[in-house]
Amino acid sequence: TDRVFFFEANVSSSESAADLVAATVAWAGGVSGLVNCAGNSTNISSLEMTPKQWREVMDVHIDGHFYMNQAVARHMVASGNGGAIVNFSSIAHIFGWPRRLPYAVSKAGIDALTRTLAVEWAEFGIRVNAIAPGYINTPLVVNATAKGYLDPTIVGMHAMGRFGEPNEIATGVKFLLSDDASFITGEVLTIDGGFSAKKIPWNK
């Protein structure tokens, strides 16, 4: 039996999100968990940003997270089996990030969405949590570093003196989806190597 099912969808469309869940249920027989990590960003002055540029980030993050949460939760409620949802926030939710306004705003919004749905859906046995990653060595970050697009001093802003690895985020996601986290809901788990804790430069 195939363990992976690919379905192209536009998460910023409620109809597309519903179609994705329906196709997944038809393939797998049900849905017990959701990892909601679709995202995009921009690098534009807030004074120069167009409505289209604002919306293209907000649509994917805010609308996309809500529509996917809603579509999956509707199935979980109907099945009566509950489940677990993990959304993707970011360390950008706690500091001002110039030229990334819609990204930072949408990530703070995902925090609020996560907490609210966690409370609203607890009666159905649905847990809703989020992950807030620091800088992670994804292909995008690795390529940006190699090409000099990423400020190398950012590494030193992490207390652990390095960027994280994708598997370190995946481990957190796995935990929040598992029964080991059965009494955890409405939380935003920060996995950032001490980036948000460090605040100021410090060396021995």
Q: For residue 1, what pLDDT band results from cuts at 50, 70 and 90?
A: low
Helices 51-58, 101-121: axis angle to 10 degrees equals 40
Each residue of 117-143: b (16+ CB within 10 Å) or e?
A: bbeebeeeebbbbbbbbbbbeeeebee
Tens digits of residue pLDDT in 68-113: 999 999 999 999 999 999 999 999 998 888 899 999 999 999 999 9
Angle at 76 between CA 72 and CA 80, to 5 degrees: 170
Taking alpha carbons only, the member of 66, 53, 57 closest to residue 14 is: 66
Q: What is the mean pLDDT of the chain?
A: 94
Cβ 57 vs Cβ 103: under 8 Å: yes
Task: Check the CA dihedral 141-147-148-149 and report its sign.
Answer: negative
Taking alpha carbons only, the member of 79, 68, 182 closest to residue 122 is: 182
Report the first-to-last Cα separation within the chain, whole angstroms: 55
The residue from 67, 103, 135, 149 that is catalytic is 103
pTM for the model: 0.94
Query: Can 135 be counted among the known catalytic residues?
Result: no
Taking alpha carbons only, the member of 195, 138, 191, 140 closest to residue 166 is: 138
Q: Is the pLDDT confidence value at 7 over 80?
A: yes
pLDDT at 150: 86
